[in-house]
Each structure stands twice: as structure tokens, then as C-alpha cells.
Amino acid sequence: EAQVTQNPRYLITVTGKKLTVTCSQNMNHEYMSWYRQDPGLGLRQIYYSMNVEVTDKGDVPEGYKVSRKEKRNFPLILESPSPNQTSLYFCASRRTGSNEQFFGPGTRLTVL
């Protein structure tokens, strides 16, 4: 089944404790991206990647890192999480040349 998976789905952590949210897709898509969703703000893009080893900042990259060492994986790293990073996070992927994005199920992160 074609899908985007994220782990964990839920995470409660404390300020300053490094964490990684994994994202993996099995559709051989070149383009992957991370969004955060906050009440009343819609979705905002954090980082995106056009292909392996190619990443770029989205609208709200501060406090986040990403890497794209393999085509299928695009982890989101929070080196020192803060409470304002409490949010619902979505990973998405699409094939280059297509505009249909496939979204992961979301990761609900709470930083205390």
C-alpha cells in the first residue's frame, strides 16, 4: 500500500530534550516536506526537500533541522524543543512533476 508513515504518532516531552520525528514514504517520491498545524493558522511549511541531499527552508524553519540521506526518509529533528513547538506535525511527499501530495497521519507533539 502506498503510504507515508510517521513515528511517533504522539509524543509528550520536556523542554530541551532532543527528539526526532521520522517520516518514510514507499512511493519513490522525490519531493518531501514537513508542516506544522496550529489552531487558526492552517498548515505552515517547515522544511522541504526536492531530492536526496537537497533541503531548503520553508516558512517556519527556526528550531528545526532535517536531513535527506535516503530518498524514502525525511526525519524532522528538534535539537532543543520549546513549548512553542507544541503542535501537530505532518510529513508529505509527492512525485516531481505532480501536484498531488500524500500526507502522513500526523504527529501530535507536546513540549512541557
Partner 1 sequence: GIQVEQSPPDLILQEGANSTLRCNFSDSVNNLQWFHQNPWGQLINLFYIPSGTKQNGRLSATTVATERYSLLYISSSQTTDSGVYFCAGTSGGSYIPTFGRGTSLIVHP
If the CB atoms of residues 40 and 69 are measured against partner 1, the closer one turns out to be 40
CB of 18 to partner 1, least distance (A): 25
Distance CA 48, CA 43 (A): 14
Q: From the CB of residue 64, how many other CB atoms can be counted at a distance below 10 Å?
A: 20
Question: Which lies closer to partner 1 via its Cβ, residue 66 or residue 92?
Answer: 92
Q: Which is nearer to partner 1, 59 or 70 (CB)?
A: 59
Any residues with CB less than 8 A from the CB of 111 and at least 6 apart, and which?
A: 13, 14, 15, 81, 82, 83, 84, 85, 86
Shortest distance, position 103 Cβ to partner 1, whole Å = 4
Rg (CA), the chain: 13
Nearer to partner 1, 8 or 16 (CB): 8
Query: At its nearest, how many Å lie between partner 1 and the CB of residue 55?
Result: 12
Min. distance of Cβ 47 from partner 1 in angstroms?
10
Q: Give CA 6 to chain center in angstroms.
A: 8
- The H helix count followed by the E strand count for the chain is 0, 11
Binding site for partner 1 (CB under 8 A): 40-45, 48, 50, 56, 58-59, 88, 90, 92, 99-103, 105-106
